[in-house]
Amino acid sequence: QKEVEQNSGPLSVPEGAIASLNCTYSDRGSQSFFWYRQYSGKSPELIMFIYSNGDKEDGRFTAQLNKASQYVSLLIRDSQPSDSATYLCAVNTNDYKLSFGAGTTVTVRA
């Protein structure tokens, strides 16, 4: 079983819609959870992190964490063409390492 799994893409949404990305993890002891955005040919950039159960909002992005279900999600509201990228879910395991999911590619149609 993979440590971090993301819903398979690609995910195509119209401009202005909500994009919903899901991620599950296997290590129940995980403490911190991250969403990174990666444009083609570029390195990942951090969008949000969350470590408490519930929702965390930052602008058009909302991260949701449910530790009991070992589930973390990212909502992108009012999606823009510039949001088209691959979104990586990462989970802090031990020794400060991050375990990454395979990523979900999002395409926002203008």
Partner 1 sequence: GAVVSQHPSWVICKSGTSVKIECRSLDFQATTMFWYRQFPKQSLMLMATSNEGSKATYEQGVEKDKFLINHASLTLSTLTVTSAHPEDSSFYICSARSGRGVTNEQFFGPGTRLTVL
Of 13, 49, 56, 61, the residue at the interface with partner 1 (CB under 8 A) is 49
Q: Which region holds residue 54: left if phi is over 0, alpha if psi is between -120 and 50, else beta?
A: left
- Express the helix, strand and coil content of the chain in percent, nearest 5 each: 5, 55, 45
Nearer to partner 1, 9 or 17 (CB): 9
Interface with partner 1 includes 98 (CB under 8 A)?
yes
Rounded to whole angstroms, the Cα distance separating 77 from 109 reads 14
If we measure between CA atoms, which residue out of 1, 13, 5 comes closest to residue 91? 5
Binding footprint of partner 1, residue count (CB under 8 A): 23
* Residue 12 β-bridge partners: 107
Of 62, 92, 106, 108, the residue at the interface with partner 1 (CB under 8 A) is 92
**Segment contacting partner 1 by CB under 8 A, of 19-27, 55-63, 67-75, 93-101:** 93-101
Interface with partner 1 includes 11 (CB under 8 A)?
no
- Which residues contact partner 1 by CB under 8 A? 31-32, 34, 36, 41-46, 49, 51, 88, 92, 95-103
